[in-house]
Structure 1
Amino acid sequence: MTTFPIARAGGNTLEIQGKMANRHGLIAGATGTGKTVTLRRMAEAFSGAGIPVFLADVKGDLSGIANAGENSGKVGERIAEFGLGADWLQSFPVRFWDVFGETGIPVRVTISEMGPMLLARLMNLNDTQEGLLNLVFKVADDNGWHLIDLKDLRGLLKHVSDNAAEYRAKYGNVSPASVGAVQRQLLTLENEGAENLFGEPALNLEDWMQTEGSKGVINILNSEKLMRSPRMYSAFLLWMLAELFETLPEVGDLEKPKFVMFFDEAHLLFDNAPAALVEQIEQVVRLIRSKGVGVYFVTQNPLDLPDTILGQLGNRVQHALRAFTPRDQKAVKAAAETFRTNPNVNVAEAIAELGVGEALVSFLDEKGMPAPVERAFVLPPQSNLTPLPAAERDAKYQSDILYRHYKDMVDNYSAYEALAELEAKQAEAEAAETAAKEQAKAEKTAAAQPQQNGVVGGFLGGLFGSRKKANQGVAYDLADSVGNQINKQVTRAISRSVMGVIKNMLK
């Protein structure tokens, strides 16, 4: 039976049961109490059993997992205290990822994959604006237009707005105000670097479920910069959770999980989240265990998570909480009540007394029941606590075989190009229609021109025409010459007048 040693209470090792590792877990505690070391120890234990791991590195201090630890300092003391031996220290296979492509392999998803609900949360849209976003996605789906990046979504928003009358009858109201609001939010996303997140080649989650030798690869997402946009951070993690749920087959309860995920700063996933989204997260967390996936939330306060989510977390490690405020005192009481009682441990008092690296621990037993809470010390990490130098980390991820695949963004044919072609065809059709109208107008004018010339010429000839009679003298010649000059001037004046009438008739 597979087990994962995590902590030591007296002479007993506290272990997560392999079959129960997919029943999820919680690591909680105040800042500086040892949550990150616990996260690292769990990730090492899972990797050592051949299970691929994902974890978000929000402080940038987990890259040292790639190197074996050192038998010195507090780590050395704990190794000696627990009699772990020199072979306890070892390295683990690590793959570095970064949404911005600066400290790891670039990570991208497409707009279509993210979906309207998570995008609405990402852009902090209200219900009306989210309704518009759903309409835009529906238009894209019905026309087979793939939304890959931000320019696709922006172009489709403009197209829907320009053709609002056409789409209103079929899909519902298209509010110009909502279109403008969504466009402004897209600009905000761009300023936060979202153009790096949305694009292709999109992440294939199977690339995160790899092993090297007998160990599972630990996928570390550098989230230091990503955390500056908490909504982007939470939207990406929720997308990944939902994507795993949608794509992985049902496998039931395995001897050990297929994949384990750690979500640090877990409160960001639920802050200001609408009820519909929380319900979906709850459903995914509840059902994804049957896909062989374990999810572990890391947060300072258990109250950061909704009760419906908290109730799904069977394996718990509670570090110290500082009861300085009424909310802190409420959290201590809530944490104490969630553990299975142990007559030898006063949970409410112990939570405030725990030292660094010490925790209250309760894991599910082989029958799926929570074990009585134990006050324990987390085992020392096997890998190096010192982060990798930047040059070593960069060399490691840039030599990775997956880096070549994900390195460069590819601008494939999508909604933006489809809309450009549609607009070009519409412009071409309009130009052809205009040319046809001009041609018809010219032909009509040309057909009327000979008749008009004949009428004018006959009228002027009858009015001013004269023949020089025989035997006319010089006086007649002079008079005729003067008359011709007068005739020319009158003719020009009347011609303008008559053409003016003709022109007015043709208008």
Structure 2
Amino acid sequence: MSDHQAFLDHINQGYTTKGDFLTVGAAMLNGETIGDAHVKVPLKTLNRHGLIAGATGTGKTKTLQVLAENLSEKGIPVLLMDIKGDLSGIAAASPGHPKIDERHAKIKIPFEAKDFPVEILSLSEQDGVRLRATISEFGPVLLSRILDVTETQAGIISIIFKYCDDNKLPLLDLKDLKKVLQFATREGKKELEKDYGRISAASTGSILRKIVELEQQGADLFFGEKSFDVQDLCRVDDNGRGIINIIRLTDIQDRPKLFSTFMLSLLAEIYGNFPEQGDSDRPELVIFLDEAHLIFKQASNALMDQIESIVKLIRSKGVGLYFVTQNPTDVPDGVLGQLGLKVQHALRAFTAKDRKAIKLTAENYPISEFYDTKEILTSLGIGEALVSALDEKGRPSPLAATMLRAPMSRMDILTPAELKALLKKSELSSKYNEEIDRESAYELLNEKIEKAEAEEAKAAAKKEREKLKRSSSSSRSSRRRSSATEKAVIKVLTSATFIRGALGVLNKLLK
């Protein structure tokens, strides 16, 4: 058997013709592209998550774009996190280029320029369909983990949620939550302690400070109504292509807590609402998390545990998560161990730390008789990567140094006019872009406090009137007593005057 045939057999090992695949490129051997050795990823295993890693400028974003396009072609909806702002061009067809033609001639995959159905979403004040969630939807456990509170403080948050449920006080946004916390240690202190136990003012003060920290990162824009229905991420267009949902996140790069808060709430909502898929032949939704290190940056241990749990569980709902970052070491081991597809672009060995990272990265890939993994990691060109997927039986496929196909859509952003036209066509903007501020805990508690204050003022006024009445009554009684005394005195004085007068007359007569 020739080396060429042995290599083809090696690349195709474990694949059958029964399932459906994404073809991502062609394998390379000794620097030569083997056009008939196509590297494929079974749709059946795409809910087993994945990693796209590599140094800056090696082609990670284009790989993400290629995967998103091909998933859309297969009718699978996609969600992309656009932190750098360079993914909107998916909505426009590629203008083509001689280098693209040259690449596709080598990998023996026909190139066709296409645009794809795109929905622009926004977490902040940027244009796009607004994403929101209510405090109630987060629930006390997830909210406590995001705020990174102590066990005692987490108990208080649970009490707050229970009190609001019992008293029909909707918790919609952060001002609702802050108002209930303030109420619990002021006006409503006795009421809450009677039914739910003692609540420390020091603990509520600490929770309020954590909420203010979250607000400073812009979370007040995210919490509220109308809540985004995650089923709207699973739409297809009239041609049966999956909609590519792009969340514009260019203005929250320096707000990792807001980003991780949003991601956790979205994943928790998807897990809670999507039905169990079992052993499905294709994923229901694929999510790409660009600049994934932002999710794990400054994350507490509790938050990391939550992320790991969701990554493990969400695949049963037919959802695949793909982390895009510079180095695999950016992703915690507990998450990295759950990732089935790995697309590793070139790494740079400029420092001792870089060389150590390359060694660790090489150990994450299957041993291959055709490649020295550590060496090839530093010699890959732009748009080339080491690829290891799971085959149809869930086993790691043979490692392949791959020349990846080029995106069919534009490898650049939309112009402002094109973006405006795309936003105008949105079917979701009228559903979610109206800001709603209905009566909730904030207004209801203010009303309750005002009513209580009015009743207190009324009781105080009544008490003051009664006091004045008693004082007035006492004054009248005093005046009556004074009047009777005066009359008696006058009478005595009158009698004395008469006596003195009579005696005076008598004295005169005797003389």
TM range, normalised to the smaller chain? 0.7 to 0.9
Q: Distance in 2 between matches of 1:449 and 1:175?
A: 49
Verify the 8 A CA contact 1:116 1:134 in the aligned structure 2.
yes
Verify the 8 A CA contact 1:64 1:386 in the aligned structure 2.
yes
Corresponding residue to 1:343 among 352, 359, 369 = 369
Verify the 8 A CA contact 2:256 2:298 in the aligned structure 1.
no
Corresponding residue to 1:98 among 100, 122, 129 = 122
Unpaired runs of 5+ residues, structure 2, are 1-18, 28-33, 505-511
Structure 2 residue aligned with 1:210: 235
Q: Does 1:355 align with 2:373?
A: no
Verify the 8 A CA contact 1:70 1:76 in the aligned structure 2.
no
* Residue identity in the other structure for 2:342: R
**Range with bigger deviation, 139-148 or 22-31:** 139-148
Instruction: Kindly state the Cα deviation for residue 273 of structure 1 after the two structures are TM-superposed.
Output: 2.7
SS in structure 2 of the partner of residue 146 of structure 1: coil
Verify the 8 A CA contact 1:103 1:393 in the aligned structure 2.
no
**Range with bigger deviation, 99-108 or 61-70:** 99-108
SS in structure 2 of the partner of residue 227 of structure 1: coil
* Residue identity in the other structure for 1:183: L
* Residue identity in the other structure for 2:308: E
Instruction: Kindly state the Cα deviation for residue 71 of structure 1 after the two structures are TM-superposed.
Output: 1.8
SS in structure 1 of the partner of residue 253 of structure 2: helix
* Residue identity in the other structure for 2:130: P
How do 1:63-142 residues align onto structure 2 when only pairs under 5 Å count? 63-86=88-111, 88-120=112-144, 122-123=146-147, 125=149, 129-142=153-166
Instruction: Kindly state the Cα deviation for residue 131 of structure 1 after the two structures are TM-superposed.
Output: 4.8
Instruction: Kindly state the Cα deviation for residue 437 of structure 1 after the two structures are TM-superposed.
Output: 2.3
Q: Distance in 1 between matches of 2:348 and 2:304?
A: 28
* Residue identity in the other structure for 1:147: L
Structure 1 residue aligned with 2:16: none
Structure 1 residue aligned with 2:13: none
Aligned CA distance change for structure 1 residues 402 and 348 (closer, same or farther; 3 Å): same
Aligned CA distance change for structure 1 residues 117 and 7 (closer, same or farther; 3 Å): farther
Verify the 8 A CA contact 2:368 2:399 in the aligned structure 1.
yes
Percent of residue pairs identical: 41
Q: Distance in 2 between matches of 1:119 and 1:77?
A: 52
Aligned CA distance change for structure 1 residues 377 and 172 (closer, same or farther; 3 Å): farther
How do 1:254-273 residues align onto structure 2 when only pairs under 5 Å count? 254-273=280-299
Q: Does 1:371 align with 2:406?
A: no
How do 1:318-333 residues align onto structure 2 when only pairs under 5 Å count? 318-333=344-359
Verify the 8 A CA contact 2:48 2:340 in the aligned structure 1.
yes
Structure 1 residue aligned with 2:451: 425
Structure 2 residue aligned with 1:7: 25
Unpaired runs of 5+ residues, structure 1, are 477-507
Instruction: Kindly state the Cα deviation for residue 314 of structure 1 after the two structures are TM-superposed.
Output: 0.7
Structure 2 residue aligned with 1:243: 269
RMSD across aligned positions (CA): 2.6
Instruction: Kindly state the Cα deviation for residue 21 of structure 1 after the two structures are TM-superposed.
Output: 0.9
Q: Distance in 1 between matches of 2:64 and 2:382?
A: 14
Corresponding residue to 2:308 among 240, 263, 282 = 282
* Residue identity in the other structure for 2:346: A
Q: Does 1:397 align with 2:423?
A: yes
The size of the alignment, in residue pairs, is 473
* Residue identity in the other structure for 1:156: V
Q: TM (normalized to structure 1)?
A: 0.86
Q: Distance in 2 between matches of 1:367 and 1:401?
A: 39
* Residue identity in the other structure for 2:121: W
Q: Distance in 2 between matches of 1:183 and 1:79?
A: 57
How do 1:137-286 residues align onto structure 2 when only pairs under 5 Å count? 137-162=161-186, 163-164=188-189, 166-168=191-193, 171=196, 173-212=198-237, 213-286=239-312
* Residue identity in the other structure for 2:254: R
Structure 1 residue aligned with 2:327: 301
Corresponding residue to 1:456 among 482, 485, 489 = 482
Q: Distance in 1 between matches of 2:358 and 2:46?
A: 25
How do 1:407-426 residues align onto structure 2 when only pairs under 5 Å count? 407-426=433-452
Q: Distance in 2 between matches of 1:412 and 1:89?
A: 47
Instruction: Kindly state the Cα deviation for residue 433 of structure 1 after the two structures are TM-superposed.
Output: 2.3
Instruction: Kindly state the Cα deviation for residue 78 of structure 1 after the two structures are TM-superposed.
Output: 1.6
Q: Distance in 1 between matches of 2:298 and 2:45?
A: 31
**Range with bigger deviation, 417-426 or 274-283:** 274-283
Q: TM (normalized to structure 2)?
A: 0.86
1:393-450 deviation digits (Å, cap 9, x = unpaired): 1231133121112122100121111212211221232233224323433444455454
Corresponding residue to 1:291 among 310, 317, 337 = 317
Q: Distance in 2 between matches of 1:5 and 1:75?
A: 16
Structure 2 residue aligned with 1:41: 66
Structure 1 residue aligned with 2:9: none
Instruction: Kindly state the Cα deviation for residue 291 of structure 1 after the two structures are TM-superposed.
Output: 0.9
Q: Distance in 1 between matches of 2:150 and 2:482?
A: 72
SS in structure 2 of the partner of residue 372 of structure 1: coil
1:25-46 deviation digits (Å, cap 9, x = unpaired): 1111111111111111111111
Q: Distance in 1 between matches of 2:432 and 2:408?
A: 31
Q: Distance in 2 between matches of 1:260 and 1:423?
A: 48
* Residue identity in the other structure for 2:219: A
Q: Distance in 1 between matches of 2:459 and 2:58?
A: 75
Instruction: Kindly state the Cα deviation for residue 171 of structure 1 after the two structures are TM-superposed.
Output: 4.3
Q: Distance in 2 between matches of 1:97 and 1:230?
A: 18
1:62-93 deviation digits (Å, cap 9, x = unpaired): 0000011122153333233334335x221110
Verify the 8 A CA contact 1:122 1:232 in the aligned structure 2.
no
Instruction: Kindly state the Cα deviation for residue 173 of structure 1 after the two structures are TM-superposed.
Output: 5.0
Structure 1 residue aligned with 2:509: none
Instruction: Kindly state the Cα deviation for residue 3 of structure 1 after the two structures are TM-superposed.
Output: 1.1
